[in-house]
Structure 1
Amino acid sequence: MSSPSPVFSVRRQAPQLIEPAVAQTPRELKHLSDIDGLWRFNTPIILFYKNNPSMKGKDPVIVIREALGRALVHYYPLAGRVREGPNKKLMVDCTGQGILFVEAEANITLEQLGDSIYPPCGFFDEFLYNVSASEGILNSPLLLFQVTRLACGGFIVAISFNHTMCDGPGIAQFLNAVAEIACGKQAPSILPIWNRELFNARDPPCKTINLRKYEDATHNSQNVGVTNSTNMSCKSFFFYPREFKALRNHLPPHLKNCTTRFELLTACLWKCRTAALGLKPDDLVLVSFPINSRGKLQNMHVPLGYYGNAFVLAAVSSMVNNLCDNPLGYVVGLVKEAKAQMSEEYAKSSVDRMVIQGPTMHTTFERMLNITLADNTHSGFDEVDFGWGKPVYGGIPWGQLGSSTYNRCNKNGMEGVLVPICLPSSVMERFQKELKIMTQRLTS
């Protein structure tokens, strides 16, 4: 039996703008990359911190607010505003106007919040000031921070960042810069690098690699139970070493020792989700996942300190019957095949394709059939230390229909991976059954 949701209130101060801590930072227009321009939305992150007796007398609100101002001296474009130029190309006007900061206080302890700190975080709206969606990503602050003190002496840092400016590793780099300064450093150990031209399309754009997997050629299925469902369910699933061991036991000998946790988990979730949807055998389903090009594509020369969007989507598709009727090893093979395609030319062709096609709006049905699974376990959100220690949980606060993230998590003293999944309620029940079968420990 689940415990009742805690009742509490949050008192916020009026939002204020935090400017760079020096009087003058460069005033210039900096162009965003073609990849940056495709991610025109804001993304949330939330970090939960315990009370630390050794920090008695120090106020996290003051410490973080001051560190933000000093970090923005180095990351001054984040204090500017995104503008739209000719052909809808985006650029940053480095105005130094600042980022939004909200001070808040909640009459609840971290312990009382319990498992509600994990996705889907039901109280996220309390911990992040609600900036009207009508503001969009143009001419608005690029970062929003809310630091909420808790009754136990712990605190919560909730962030919304403009995805055109940073990807997951990029915003984590900025957060770690703030944390280093909060802990006494004069400057970040990794200085930011712009170099957005690395991820621009060629002139003219040229798709030299067949990327048909991206063309959502889904069959015209009429699965009413899926397409018309409005009763959605969002749950988090924890994968500890025992679950990974159980999944690995499904693999043939030649795959057991050469399959990563990412490949294993992606194959498992794609297979279980597809089986739960109850689609036609000849429906085409697709899984895609961003691959971070930092350090992986040597010829791309992505420098240390680059904090823009630096990932390329890998994708693989399959007929439903092939996915459901074959063992997990078959699906792992498909995921490995998609990863193996990644090369400098694949990355450049992907950017060219995105520029030629432009942003794609997917229908609800397409979001049912296709899923994007993003690995945040290496982003470092769970290691951002402002002086009070590492967060109890740090990562994405929820999942969405058609997309989920892998978040590193330590729950009840056990380290694992947390994955929020969002599906229609009837599908969720079937998904949980499929997942239970898949994660049952096999002896051979």
Structure 2
Amino acid sequence: MAGPLKFTVRRKPAALVPPAAPTPRELKRLSDIDDQDGLRFHIPVIQFYRRSSALMMGDPAPVIRDALARALVPYYPFAGRLRELHGRKLAVECTGEGVLFTEADADVRLDHFGDALQPPFPCLDELIFDVPGSSEVLGAPLLLFQVTRLACGGFVLGVRLHHTMADAQGLVQFLTAVSELARGAEAPTVRPVWGRALLTARDPPRPGPFAHREYDDVPDTHGTIVPLDDMAHRSFFFGKREVNAVRAHLPLNLRSRATRFDLLTGLLWRCRTVALAPDADEVMRMICIVNARGGGNKSRAVVDIPEGYYGNAFAFPVAVATAGELCANPLGFAVDLVKRAKGEVDVEYMRSVADLMVLRGRPHFTVVRAYLVSDVTKAGFGDLDFGWGKPAYGGPAKGGVGAIPGVASFLIPFRNAKGEDGIVVPMCLPGPAMDRFVEEMNKLLAPPKQDQQQEAFPVIRSAL
């Protein structure tokens, strides 16, 4: 079996790209959803593009760099730097200094990455290079771009965002503006809206009657994940057949009500718990990301977010159960808990979170015996066209929360090598636990024993 792909990346020195025209010099406060401790890290996104012989676009680096400079004029806060005010309040000092940009070349072809591009990506640290001093929370560039030309004529665009500035949908909105300008537009289609007061705490703060157990202060007596230095990375593909196979394990009253997110999140939570084998009385948390915008569906919006808003607009509701309950009960138990947790989020819930942040010093959501799932299937990473067509892969570069591996997974839209559309989920677990995870999931991808008339479903498939 061939070993992991290795290649050399030659980078030019990183340079700051300022806005292409003068921008306001001012201090802009983030919202009280933006600046919570759990978002004070840089999150990497990666886009792979094929050579575009039809368009003959030439070198992508100057095209994207010039478009980036122009996009930073209306999106000028991205060109500033974060400052911390009284009460750990974060604000952007709009200095116009710019964002980091690196131009690079790699001696590898796109097809060397395999038929199905998926996390984990080889040499990721070379494709999104951590420029020394650039990953600090305060006083560092808020965006880092790296364009790496490939030997085949394609390229990789790596982007790293300071998460307090935007969520996935907000980042895609900005990258869409860059892509439109790269393709020759005079101005972005969507006008950016700052509007952070919309998700700012009330005066005085008055959290609602919500438990907010996602922010429980939990002592780490057994270790978050053990060991952290021997982690296995793997991605799993869920197409229509896999989703139907898992759904067949739910009770009839839940099959039609559970969304795909409910289903897969409950599945991942249960299988991961079985794999990690915690003590039966250990309390496990499943943190869900609920988009207050409604995930692109205004009828489902929690808060009336204006078009063009690019800040963080989501909550971290949490489902809670003991490891014993998760392992002993059928899958529907976990799925129902996920569904109930999501259902808590409304306008008052979002206001309550903002108020809680101010009163409790902007705490980090708990990562002790917790697992977080974020659905980016509707974020739009796969639609970003800088002139070379849509990406062969677009989306999160890896799982995890900041420097903590294994705590988070993304649901990423994906088309496998057979042309099947579905979702790919990167997982990170200790090696032996990964084997148990696959074994447990295979049980739930087979027909339930009580219904042998079900269609025969395949066992778990990789995205290959």
TM over 0.5: yes
2:118 match: 118
In 1, Cα distance between the equivalents of 2:223 and 2:136? 34
The answer on whether the counterparts of 1:116 and 1:123 sit within 8 Å (CA) in structure 2 is no
In 1, Cα distance between the equivalents of 2:219 and 2:166? 35
Alignment of 1:56-67 (within 5 A): 56-67=56-67
2:444 match: 438
Determine whether 1:429 maps to 2:435: yes
Equivalent pairs counted in the alignment come to 438
1:257 match: 256
1:171 match: 171
Select the residue among 290, 311, 316 that pairs with 1:313: 316
In 2, Cα distance between the equivalents of 1:220 and 1:301? 38
In 2, Cα distance between the equivalents of 1:275 and 1:96? 50
In 1, Cα distance between the equivalents of 2:217 and 2:69? 48
The answer on whether the counterparts of 1:285 and 1:370 sit within 8 Å (CA) in structure 2 is yes
In 1, Cα distance between the equivalents of 2:349 and 2:198? 14
**Distance change (3 Å), C-alpha of 1:48 and 1:304:** same
In 1, Cα distance between the equivalents of 2:222 and 2:26? 52
SS in 2 for 1:53: coil
SS in 2 for 1:349: helix
**Distance change (3 Å), C-alpha of 1:328 and 1:5:** same
- Matched letter for residue 187 of structure 1: A
In 1, Cα distance between the equivalents of 2:257 and 2:287? 21
Determine whether 1:347 maps to 2:364: no
Cα displacement (A) at 1:148: 0.6
**Distance change (3 Å), C-alpha of 1:152 and 1:369:** same
- Matched letter for residue 143 of structure 1: L
Q: Deviations over 1:70-121 (max 9, x none)?
A: 1111111111111122222111111111111111111110001226942122
1:285 match: 284
Cα displacement (A) at 1:435: 1.0
Alignment of 1:24-35 (within 5 A): 24-35=22-33
- Matched letter for residue 412 of structure 2: N
1:41 match: 41
Q: Deviations over 1:149-190 (max 9, x none)?
A: 111111000011111111111111101111111112111111
**TM-score between the two structures when normalised by the length of structure 1:** 0.93
Cα displacement (A) at 1:144: 0.7
Alignment of 1:101-250 (within 5 A): 101-114=101-114, 117-132=117-132, 135-216=135-216, 227=226, 230-250=229-249
Gap runs ≥5 in structure 2? 401-405, 455-464
Gap runs ≥5 in structure 1? none
**Distance change (3 Å), C-alpha of 1:285 and 1:111:** same
1:20 match: 19
In 2, Cα distance between the equivalents of 1:219 and 1:31? 32
**Distance change (3 Å), C-alpha of 1:101 and 1:223:** closer
Select the residue among 322, 325, 332 that pairs with 2:325: 322
Q: Deviations over 1:255-281 (max 9, x none)?
A: 222221101100100111111121222
Select the residue among 391, 407, 411 that pairs with 1:406: 411
Higher mean C-alpha displacement, 145-154 vs 294-303:
294-303
Higher mean C-alpha displacement, 296-305 vs 256-265:
296-305
The answer on whether the counterparts of 1:297 and 1:343 sit within 8 Å (CA) in structure 2 is no
SS in 2 for 1:342: coil
The answer on whether the counterparts of 1:238 and 1:416 sit within 8 Å (CA) in structure 2 is yes
In 1, Cα distance between the equivalents of 2:292 and 2:284? 25
Cα displacement (A) at 1:197: 0.8
Cα displacement (A) at 1:326: 1.6
Q: Structure 1 or 2: larger helix share?
A: 1
**Distance change (3 Å), C-alpha of 1:57 and 1:290:** closer
The answer on whether the counterparts of 1:201 and 1:355 sit within 8 Å (CA) in structure 2 is yes
1:418 match: 424
1:335 match: 338
Q: Deviations over 1:187-243 (max 9, x none)?
A: 11111100001111122222222325225476986599x645632212111111111
In 1, Cα distance between the equivalents of 2:127 and 2:236? 23
**TM-score between the two structures when normalised by the length of structure 2:** 0.89
**Distance change (3 Å), C-alpha of 1:258 and 1:35:** same
In 1, Cα distance between the equivalents of 2:416 and 2:268? 21
Q: What RMSD in Å do the two structures reach over aligned CA positions? A: 2.2
Cα displacement (A) at 1:61: 1.0
The answer on whether the counterparts of 2:107 and 2:150 sit within 8 Å (CA) in structure 1 is yes
